[in-house]
Amino acid sequence: MIIKPKYKGFICLTAHPEGCYKNVEDFAKLATSKPLDEDNAPKNVLVLGGSTGYGLASRITATFAAKANTMSVAFERPSTGKRTATTGYYNDAAVTKLAKLHGLNDVSLNGDAFSDEMKAEVIKAWNKAYPGEKIDLVVYSLASPKRKDPKDGELYSSVIKPVGEAYTNKTVDFHSGVVTDVTIEPAAGEEVDATIKVMGGEDWKLWIDALLGADLLSDDVITVAYSYIGPEITHAIYKDGTIGLAKNHLLATSELLNDELSKKGGRAFVSVNKALVTQSSAAIPVVPLYISLLYKVMKEDGSHEDTLDQMLRLFHDKLYSDINDVRDLNNPIRIDDLEMEDEIQAKVDALWKTANSDNIEEISDLVGYRKEFFSLFGFGRDDVDYELDVEEF
Ligand SMILES: NC(=O)c1ccc[n+]([C@@H]2O[C@H](COP(=O)([O-])OP(=O)(O)OC[C@H]3O[C@@H](n4cnc5c(N)ncnc54)[C@H](O)[C@@H]3O)[C@@H](O)[C@H]2O)c1
């Protein structure tokens, strides 16, 4: 089959196995070139949501920069013979294969991380793959539209909506470059609760409880989950919206977990990361326009980072820094500092005010946004021949 991008809005229905492999290979090379100090690096790492985006970058940092034993859980679909697999499925295979080639250890598990069954499967698989080894870093990087509560089987759906009142702002169709005003009606009360159920900290705590119960966590374990704050222009839809309330719950959970884990020397954090193109962020209205303006400003400033740059900085400068003791770190950790600099934000703000369909290609990095979006699915690489028939996919 000749595999081309097939997309609908912010969803790409196809993925290219060779392109995904090469993407992971590039990340692995870069991570290998930035090793962590052996005495101050995680040894055994579990990444929940390690197949794409920030979770994938965390896992690649752990595997190739820290040389840790890694295990990832993700929810991905294999190919069906007519349809390609999801990009995360190919990424999973690529990390495990590249780890093996470098004499390192990585295991990919595929299934619903919210379920009790997957928690039991991970405990079993960990003991089998890494017998006697305790996990010293748990990364929680799930981003999902739905969660089935394992207690009562109820299915909750998250929504990305403002809370209290309707919100109107500019948004862009990143394929066509058409800038329009979008109005998003406020969430109903039960939608707020459901979003907190899906994207808050309840499942993170269930994971830590399950791993503690199985005696799989080291005394000095670190656990980190990811969040976003962003500038004023996105507050109504993000920080003060349904997703922001879920992230507040995540932060409150980190404090609860920290109280528990710190008794033996462990720590729990939320890390506030930079806005970047991922499958999840592409789905949030208004955010793609903000990201395309931000990319333009940060690339010109020379301070742009991708998911791997961010995770390398999180590991090197924060969690496993030679300068600061992790126990002295404030929670939340901020690695969105460069994005949030006043000068950067003032420039983005000025561009935001003038952005329209006529000038968007010129004043923003929409070209870079599109390229990165398709690159998430393995497309747009110069070293892959996309006209070639792919026999195994
Ligand atoms: N993208 C951004 O700009 C940004 C910025 C700051 C923080 N974050 C946060 O980072 C985290 C990860 O987001 P991302 O943007 O990397 O998303 P992503 O869509 O690239 O990754 C989501 C991951 O979760 C996994 N997943 C989803 N549902 C699952 C399930 N039921 N069981 C197992 N795995 C499941 C997917 O397989 C994938 O590995 C989120 O908490 C997000 O809020 C993202």
Domain locations in the chain as residue ranges? 7-375
pLDDT at 266 over 90: yes
For residue 320, indicate whether it is catalytic.
no
- Torsional sign, CA 358, 364, 366, 367: positive
pTM of the full structure: 0.98
- In percent, the amount of the chain with pLDDT more than 90 equals 98
CATH class of 7-375: alpha beta
CA–centroid distance, residue 100 to ligand 1 (Å): 25
- Interatomic CA distance for residues 28 and 353, integer angstroms: 39
pLDDT one-digit tens code per residue, 180-208:
999 999 999 999 999 999 999 999 999 99
136/303 Cα distance (integer angstroms): 31
A 10 A CB-CB count for 24 gives 24
Average pLDDT score over the chain: 97
**Model confidence at 282, in pLDDT bands (50, 70, 90)?**
very high
Residue nearest to atom 27 of ligand 1 (CA): 144
Q: Which residue, 260, 316, 241, 264, is CA-closest to 40?
A: 316
Q: Work out which ligand 1 atom sits closest to the CA atom of 74.
A: 34
- Centre of ligand 1 from the C-alpha of residue 141, in Å: 5
Instruction: Specify which residues 183 forms β-bridges with.
Output: 168
State which of 47, 72, 118, 280 you would mutate to test the pocket of ligand 1, scoring each by most atoms of that ligand within 8 A of its C-beta.
Answer: 280
The yes-or-no verdict on residue 143 having pLDDT over 90 is yes
